[in-house]
Structure 1
Amino acid sequence: MKGVEEICGWKYYGICFVGGMLSSGATHLAITPLDVLKVNMQVYPNKYNNGIVSGLSTIWKQQGSYALWRGWSGKLCGYGIQGGFKYALYEYFKNLYADHLLLHSTRNSIFFLSGLSAQILADLTLAPFEAVKIRLQIQPNFAKGLSDGFPLVYRNEGLPGFYRGLIPLWSRNLPFSMVMFSSFEHSVDLIYKNIVHKRKEDCSTPQQLGVTCFAAYTAGALATVISNPADNVMTSLYKKKAESAMQAIKNIGFINLFTRSLPIRIALLGPVITLQWFLYDTIKVLSGLPTSGGLARDQKEVKL
């Protein structure tokens, strides 16, 4: 592993960006059919309320197999770029805040603030892709992909059309990111202390990656439950079933905000977050860096 003097260097953040981009883009591309179903379940709940297999079969029969991959380019590019910025910025802010706030704040505050800061900036890159992707998934005749979808949105709605759902996107992703990163960090710490009974530095690479996977699945499941209401509101706004977030909440219903599409989102995001962290940490390990978890000063203390 590389020395602690490189933990906060720009080369380190560059590796984190590449790792986040490749892991996020690949995992989100892989679950495109389930994402198509999730969006349609949110928009047409009465039509797709008989389970995942039935919903996928309905889309296949009525719209063809290609419909299950509608919006794949938005998933690959949008979430790839967003993932690169999210993971790299999280590492950057985590080290920045630890250097300036750790004496006055808890470690949990550092993780929450870092996830919040990283996600705010990362979602600015995702919003335009998400605007086109959702329209592609729920409007079969809207466009063929990003190449004609972007000009169409701009021509019909102007620049605001790309950021129509930015506030709901933040409402979904900010709690998700804060809970996901924080619970991941705490899960890693608890697993090493209470299950493995060894420091990370004393574990083999397969053991470290195994800890990453267990912590990631826990983090993904918790964050999914927290972010589900905002995900339903965002889809409703993009579909133009409501003109404001408050109207969308009223139309959907308070209970439905938490329950609608929740099973499929857990089925989606649990494995996705797990695989994402696994690929991300694998790329870091192959680059000679330690797996994720903890603060840079923890590495320095171990070195000392």
Structure 2
Amino acid sequence: MSSALKPLPFYVTFTAGAIAGVSEILTFYPLDVVKTRMQLERGKTSTSLLGSFRTIIREEGFGRLYRGLVPPLLLEAPKRATKFAANDFWGKTFKDLTGQPEMTRQLSIITGCSAGATESFVVVPFELVKIKLQDKSLASTYSGPLDVVRQIVRKGGILGLYAGMEATFWRHLWWNGGYFGSIFQVKTMLPKAETPQGQLLNNFVSGSVGGFVGTVLNTPYVVKSRIQGAEKLPGVIPKYNWTYPALITIFREEGPAALYKGFVPKVLRLAPGGGVLLLVVEFTLGVFRKALGPPYI
């Protein structure tokens, strides 16, 4: 995107992010359900990806793969808008602070981490509701998303919706740092696109690599699902409470492989999902630029 172009209005970025996020969620959500189930498993045994799919469909029906879909769908517009708007804001801020006229690899990583940290404050309540609805052990506890919210607020107040905030912060910080940092690096390595189709391909490839790297970096934060999936009992200190002590507990009790439970479905979703996300965002922004005309194009 040329620096000579006038920045697009906020509603354009918001709409592009919303369209991209909804597209990605509808395509890959069943993998997220399986990933969450695998992360909630205790002990050293782990069900395979296909085994988890078969078990869910056989015991609970195909529709279960889309249970908990409403919160992420409602989240995607503000979440993706926040992700890309924050990345743009922090990119400009860090370039001004360092005196760099153009983005560098180091700045792209720092910018991505900052965008992820910003994004985390938006997503926590929605993630919490999603985890509660996806957990098989809580299937009879909640009748739907609004019931989850009502019960959480009744038991813990409004702040109860922010259970797992610290773990979510670290998860999004590392994912976005890996995502945006990889996109910058991969784009410098790919041949320059000479056609719109080539540009779309470059966006998909760089976004997919970014999604893969981000997933490798943040999958050990499996503890977020456990923190948000646990029921709070009065006077009882949760086994999984703070991120890094909890990671040590899982490593010690279940082995290093437990930190990557659910990695396969997660990477199968977020690697191509990252590509779809960037491709749809850039395509939608291009459509808006053409529609708005100079000085946006």
TM-score, structure 1 normalization: 0.83
Match of 1:214 in 2: 205
Match of 2:279 in 1: 278
Deviates more, 1:259-268 or 1:143-152: 143-152
CA distance in 1, matches of 2:111, 2:54: 41
Aligned length: 278
Once the two structures are superposed, the pairs formed by residues 46-195 of structure 1 within 5 Å of their partners are 49-103=46-100, 107-138=104-135, 139-191=138-190
Aligned letter for 2:213?
L
1:30 Cα deviation (Å)? 2.7
Report if aligned partners of 2:91, 2:103 keep a CA contact under 8 Å in 1.
no
Identity of aligned residues (%): 21
Aligned letter for 2:181?
S
Q: Which whole-Å deviations, capped at 9, do the CAs of 1:263-287 have from their partners, x for residues lacking one?
A: 2211111111111111111101111
Deviates more, 1:249-258 or 1:179-188: 249-258
Secondary structure class of the residue paired with 1:127 = helix
Report if aligned partners of 1:217, 1:271 keep a CA contact under 8 Å in 2.
yes
Report if aligned partners of 1:180, 1:223 keep a CA contact under 8 Å in 2.
yes
1:131 Cα deviation (Å)? 0.8
Secondary structure class of the residue paired with 1:4 = coil
Once the two structures are superposed, the pairs formed by residues 222-301 of structure 1 within 5 Å of their partners are 222-230=213-221, 232-240=222-230, 242-246=240-244, 248-253=246-251, 255-288=256-289
Report if aligned partners of 1:26, 1:76 keep a CA contact under 8 Å in 2.
no
Structure 1 portions without partners, runs of 5+: 290-302
Aligned letter for 1:91?
D
CA distance in 1, matches of 2:34, 2:262: 9
CA distance in 2, matches of 1:256, 1:228: 11
1:46 Cα deviation (Å)? 6.4
Report if aligned partners of 2:166, 2:242 keep a CA contact under 8 Å in 1.
no
Report if aligned partners of 1:25, 1:83 keep a CA contact under 8 Å in 2.
no
Aligned letter for 1:204?
T
Aligned letter for 2:286?
V
Match of 1:294 in 2: none
1:169 Cα deviation (Å)? 0.7
CA distance in 2, matches of 1:20, 1:140: 31
CA distance in 1, matches of 2:121, 2:77: 13
CA distance in 1, matches of 2:20, 2:121: 19
Report if aligned partners of 1:184, 1:216 keep a CA contact under 8 Å in 2.
yes
Report if aligned partners of 2:40, 2:225 keep a CA contact under 8 Å in 1.
yes
Moved over 4 A (4+): 45-48
Secondary structure class of the residue paired with 1:187 = helix
CA distance in 2, matches of 1:287, 1:104: 26
